Structure 1
Amino acid sequence: MRPIEALLEIARDEGVTRIFGNPGTTELPLMDALVEAPDLHYVLGLQEASVVAMADGYARATRRTSMVSLHVAAGVANGLIGMLNALRSRTPMVVVAGQQDRRHLVQDPMLSGDLVGLASAATKSAVEVQHARDLPVVLRRAFALAARAPAGPVLVSVPMDLLEEDCDVAVPARSPVTGPGAADVADAAALLAAADRPVVVAGDGVGRAGAVAELVAVAERLGAAVHHQPMNDGIDFPTSHPLYAGMLPPRNAVIRETLAAHDAVLIAGCRAFMPHHYTPGPAVPDGLPIVQVDEDAAEIGRNFAVRHGLVGDLPGTLRALAAALDGRVPSAPERIERLGAAHARVRAETEERARAAYGPAPMDPAAAAHAVAAGLPDGAVVVEEAITAGLRLRAVLRQDRPGSYVHTVGGGLGWGTGAAVGTRMGGGRPVVAVLGDGCAMFGVQGLWSAARYRVPVAFVVMNNGEYRTLKETLDEGGGASAEHGRYIGMDLAPPALDWQAAARLFGIASVRAGSAGGLAEAVASVRDLEAPLLIEAPVAGHAPSPGDRPPGSR
């Protein structure tokens, strides 16, 4: 479906029968397409203030979201008073504004301007679409946001050349959003109970809401595999549970491949999927039936269509869902046994590989991560900001107690040191901070506070002397860096970072782990700490020889 066809199809699906506007050159693709859309009536106004006012009155009379078409910066400026009125009166309205052709926007052509900047103060949201493939998703979001309490106008700026692109775009289905009423929960439960291969995605909202036990009950009644959301910030499902299948990687292609093996999915408390590295295509396979449960109505159907969207208190909603599923899936115990055996095999293989890599420093990254996990005393909290080492750590950690794992998906480096100090101050459990050396350099000043207040945290610095995640990303792309084994601006040596010297600077005791076994012993000592300890863990770096490329690269 062409972009302009997708625009009209979504308008129809959202209940639009009239489009209010005053056309100009940037609206010509729309005006031309309306010739073959007799069900969509164009209501002409001779000035944009009148156009928006008509749409305001129409929306109030019909109790439906109205649609407006405005022309470039001048049209948006003329319509601002109407949008401001609609915002104050909480009138649901989607304003599609034509922007100049992107191919010469850099030259500041006539009629162009900052449409988003102009409209931001008079709308709930204003956004400009940059890619044709994003237009359907942005429009769906606009209609959902315009109608969501408190209702109001939402502006979508659409460059005229985007509507004329000769490309095929997919139109996501409209996602129903309801409260967790009995009928809604019953319908969602029926969909999940009918699935042969259900799967659950546990989002960080579950942990924040204290709803882990409730999600476990739902998963066990279904006999469904459970994944943590990509780069989860906490424990949202017990990682030693037989149904736990690990974290979804933050790449759409891998998420899509994983979910494609299932015929229904429950997504609970998850903020979309927040991919990190770009891969083509959506995160969710086409047509996969989805039940989404969240406390934030904005998350329902944000990036993918759902069959049932339940908005409300997560513990209560999940309890109701578990009750509705009770006894509905007779095969659940068999599924748990089967999945548990498969997950146990994967875990055993991961453990075996990590233990086989044990040796003296500089340590294999997987062995170092395993040593940290093996050394953790009961009840310890892991605060992790280690990027590549952190991914390996997630694969071997077995934590069931909520609050045992602390991470930030925000991506602002230097967080880990201070977060570990605050975590220990706020609770009595032992705290181990696992930090990449690059991350630790961004927040090294936090060690001073740990020393001043004698906060008993073990700071484990994974010292590989490089920004390894950047090198691995370049390797995947198969560019010149991977070809020549040379990476610009990604090495922290020479001079090498001396973390024991850094500890002395701040008055903190330190130890250098000489082997994976020594690292496990050092981590275990956190149970007896009365003051901070820095543990330097020398880890092998990433230095491929010229021509050494990862599988699948070119």
Structure 2
Amino acid sequence: MTPLDAMLTILREEGVDRVFGNPGTTELPFLDALTDAEDIEYVLGVQEASVVAMADGYARATGRPAFVSLHVAAGLANGLVGLLNARRSRTPLVVTAGQQDRRHLVQDPMLSGDLVGLARPAVKHVFDVQHGYDLPVMLRRAFALAVQPPAGPVFLSVPMDLLDEDTPVEVPDRSVLAPQGPATEVAAAARLLAGAERPVIVAGDGVGRDGAVAELVALAEALGAAVYHQPMHDALDFPFTHPLHQGALAPVNAEIRATLSPYDVVLVVGAHAFTPHHYSPGSPVPETATVIQLDPDPGEPGRAFPVSLGLVGAIRPTLAALAGELTGRVTAAGERTDALRRAAELRRALVESEVLAGYGPAPLDPLSAAHAVAAALPDDAVVLEEAITTGLKLREVLRLEAPGSLLHTVGGGLGWGVGGAVGHRLGDPRRPVVAVLGDGCTMFGLQGLWSAARYGVPVTFVVMNNGEYRTLKHTLDDRDSRATRAGHYPGLDLGPPRLDFTRAAAFFGVESVRVTDPRHLSEVVAKAVQGDSPLLIEVPITAHADEG
């Protein structure tokens, strides 16, 4: 078996049925081999950032590593933003890039470069393949490492001439590994939780990734504990409709600490260090609290803040064991749940009042626009959010319950949303995908619309168009900046005139519509999610200067 034959064999055995790529000369041997591989589809993207984003969405939908083929140093550089996002979001990817022919690397040929050095800061592990007999071993290792906690992207540099070799190589068998079991010291954790007077749970994205939402609900109900999502969470880790759900923590240590300060026992489940955005001094957890942290990654508990008890193990069976220990033992659980239900109902009523007050013609109030989208979603919808400021408002009005119904990237590299939505719908065609995007985010990933049109992927793209980088203006306002006092924000406006996304959609072959009011938006979204082709909905929303 040649190195190239071995590569295809391993892809099949690892469950790869699609390759996401943008090809070049150094990938031609691989591309040529796919001619006879009818069971592996090549999904083409016209820019590498969109390619990696599609693979990210696909991996999340299928639950297995997605395979990416990039082109030399330039293509890898274009894909780095997606790799950074995948690493932050713990998305398993196996990524290759074709290196130039080794026989003339000494001449520093066109397109060559230090692929391994370029990729190393953005991925979990790198392999510099230099021998045909090493390729099967390294590729097999890459798939294993991609899913090992903490999951993430793994990169291989593969020279063009290596794939042309006829040298026979051996393919190592795929190893079958037992899944990680529950953590030890569950009984000790249960005692600490049972003794709490004011328990709180921080639901991290490890809960959603491990399919452990039901188990976390059972534990929270056994305790009557308030539940907060981790800051900027990537997934649905607890049902938004549940009376114990208190929303998401802010991505600032001081605000997290203030929110958690009323509680005496804090259980942090599957959250990576709370991923703060803006700096503030001090720990995110109160010094007076007893902190229990559960994570499948042994490097996580106690890494960013001290813990009273660190648990290392698979999240789902550990939560199930904790719920089993505590169910029926906590007499105050019902009283706590009733109080939290009343508080949640009050918050929802206040938001609904604000929503109705903001309903009006375009440009729409951002909260009302978000509410109009949320009101039109079917129960099985997957909402992908990359809308920054409007996205925060969207989370206030979403009533999502089903696991897997929310997608985001805590990586923060803009342009992920369009490709991520396309990849997710390819990976799970059973559920409609609605991507709620900011105008700036859409511009970074616009080329992904081409793939949506080419493959007829029925995604609803909702672009919130305020003609500005609003989140940066808000940050300057919070700093009482010179820009705020002058009413002039250099480099933060995308108009006038505002970008016309209906024309951009037409260029890539995607149908579009511009809405006129919130009810029109709800009607268009409700119809679009039943369709069989992509649709872009442009939503003019108020700009920073128009806010009351």
TM-score scaled to structure 1, two decimals? 0.65
Give distance in 1, aligned partners of 2:306 and 2:279.
20
Contact 1:417 1:440 in 2 (8 A): yes
Q: What residue in structure 1 maps to residue 206 of structure 2?
A: 205
SS at match of 2:299: helix
SS at match of 2:192: helix
Q: What residue in structure 1 maps to residue 317 of structure 2?
A: 316
Contact 1:360 1:515 in 2 (8 A): yes
Q: What residue in structure 2 maps to residue 380 of structure 1?
A: 381
Contact 2:268 2:293 in 1 (8 A): yes
Q: What residue in structure 2 maps to residue 254 of structure 1?
A: 255
Offset of 1:496 from its aligned partner?
2.2
Query: Residue by residue, what CA displacement relative to the aligned partner does 1:151-206 show, whole Å, maximum 9, x if unpaired?
Result: xxxxxxxxxxxxxxxxxxxxxxxxxxxx9566x21111111111111000000001
Offset of 1:354 from its aligned partner?
1.2
Contact 1:512 1:536 in 2 (8 A): yes
Amino acid at match of 1:475: D
Amino acid at match of 1:411: G
Q: What residue in structure 2 maps to residue 110 of structure 1?
A: none
Give distance in 2, aligned partners of 1:190 and 1:333.
19
Amino acid at match of 2:431: R
Query: Residue by residue, what CA displacement relative to the aligned partner does 1:386-410 show, whole Å, maximum 9, x if unpaired?
Result: 0001000011111110111111001
Alignment of 1:277-288 (within 5 A): 277-288=278-289
Q: Say whether 1:446 aligns with 2:452.
A: no
Give distance in 2, aligned partners of 1:544 and 1:314.
46
Q: Say whether 1:463 aligns with 2:465.
A: yes
Query: Residue by residue, what CA displacement relative to the aligned partner does 1:187-242 show, whole Å, maximum 9, x if unpaired?
Result: 11111111111000000001101111111111011000000000110010111011
Q: What residue in structure 2 maps to residue 526 of structure 1?
A: 528
Q: What residue in structure 1 maps to residue 143 of structure 2?
A: none
Offset of 1:506 from its aligned partner?
1.2
Give distance in 1, aligned partners of 2:440 and 2:363.
17
Q: Say whether 1:361 aligns with 2:365.
A: no
Q: What residue in structure 2 maps to residue 414 of structure 1?
A: 415
Amino acid at match of 2:438: G
SS at match of 2:498: coil
Q: Say whether 1:492 aligns with 2:491.
A: no
Contact 1:198 1:222 in 2 (8 A): yes
Greater RCO (CA < 8 Å, at least 6 residues apart) = 2
Offset of 1:544 from its aligned partner?
7.3
Q: Sort the Cα spacing of 1:396 and 1:181 in 2 relative to 1 into closer, same or farther, 3 A.
A: closer
Q: What residue in structure 2 maps to residue 3 of structure 1?
A: none
Contact 1:431 1:526 in 2 (8 A): no
Contact 2:459 2:529 in 1 (8 A): no
Q: What residue in structure 1 maps to residue 188 of structure 2?
A: 187
Q: What residue in structure 2 maps to residue 234 of structure 1?
A: 235
Give distance in 2, aligned partners of 1:519 and 1:278.
37
SS at match of 2:339: helix
Contact 1:355 1:370 in 2 (8 A): no
Q: Which runs of 5+ in 1 are unaligned?
A: 1-116, 121-148, 150-178, 549-554
Contact 1:432 1:526 in 2 (8 A): no
Q: Say whether 1:481 aligns with 2:477.
A: no
Amino acid at match of 1:536: E
Query: Residue by residue, what CA displacement relative to the aligned partner does 1:46-85 show, whole Å, maximum 9, x if unpaired?
Result: xxxxxxxxxxxxxxxxxxxxxxxxxxxxxxxxxxxxxxxx
Give distance in 2, aligned partners of 1:495 and 1:544.
16
Contact 1:512 1:535 in 2 (8 A): yes
Q: Say whether 1:332 aligns with 2:328.
A: no
* Structure exhibiting the larger radius of gyration computed from Cα positions: 1
Offset of 1:327 from its aligned partner?
2.1
Q: What residue in structure 2 maps to residue 433 of structure 1?
A: 435
Give distance in 1, aligned partners of 2:542 and 2:197.
44
Contact 1:369 1:392 in 2 (8 A): yes
Contact 2:243 2:340 in 1 (8 A): yes
Contact 2:182 2:315 in 1 (8 A): no
Give distance in 1, aligned partners of 2:534 and 2:183.
50
Query: Residue by residue, what CA displacement relative to the aligned partner does 1:323-348 show, whole Å, maximum 9, x if unpaired?
Result: 11122211111211121111111112
Q: What residue in structure 2 maps to residue 512 of structure 1?
A: 514
Give distance in 2, aligned partners of 1:526 and 1:252.
40
Offset of 1:280 from its aligned partner?
2.6
Q: What residue in structure 2 maps to residue 344 of structure 1?
A: 345
Give distance in 2, aligned partners of 1:274 and 1:385.
17
Contact 2:436 2:463 in 1 (8 A): yes
Amino acid at match of 2:260: L
Query: Equivalent pairs: percent with the same residue?
Result: 60
Amino acid at match of 1:464: N
Query: Residue by residue, what CA displacement relative to the aligned partner does 1:252-295 show, whole Å, maximum 9, x if unpaired?
Result: 11111110011111111111111111123221111310111110
Give distance in 1, aligned partners of 2:495 and 2:529.
33
SS at match of 2:503: helix
Contact 1:482 1:544 in 2 (8 A): no
SS at match of 2:529: helix
Q: Say whether 1:214 aligns with 2:215.
A: yes
Offset of 1:363 from its aligned partner?
0.6
Aligned length: 373
Contact 2:468 2:493 in 1 (8 A): yes
Give distance in 2, aligned partners of 1:349 and 1:368.
17
Amino acid at match of 2:519: G
Contact 1:485 1:544 in 2 (8 A): no
Q: What residue in structure 1 maps to residue 302 of structure 2?
A: 301
Amino acid at match of 1:414: G
Q: Which residue of 538, 541, 548 maps to 1:536? A: 538
Q: What residue in structure 1 maps to residue 14 of structure 2?
A: none
Q: What residue in structure 2 maps to residue 172 of structure 1?
A: none
SS at match of 2:476: helix
Amino acid at match of 1:520: S
SS at match of 1:384: strand
Offset of 1:426 from its aligned partner?
1.1
Give distance in 1, aligned partners of 2:283 and 2:270.
19
Give distance in 1, aligned partners of 2:279 and 2:251.
9
SS at match of 1:298: coil
TM-score scaled to structure 2, two decimals? 0.66
Query: Residue by residue, what CA displacement relative to the aligned partner does 1:5-31 show, whole Å, maximum 9, x if unpaired?
Result: xxxxxxxxxxxxxxxxxxxxxxxxxxx
Give distance in 1, aligned partners of 2:328 and 2:376.
41
Please tell me the root mean square deviation across aligned C-alpha atoms, in Å: 2.2
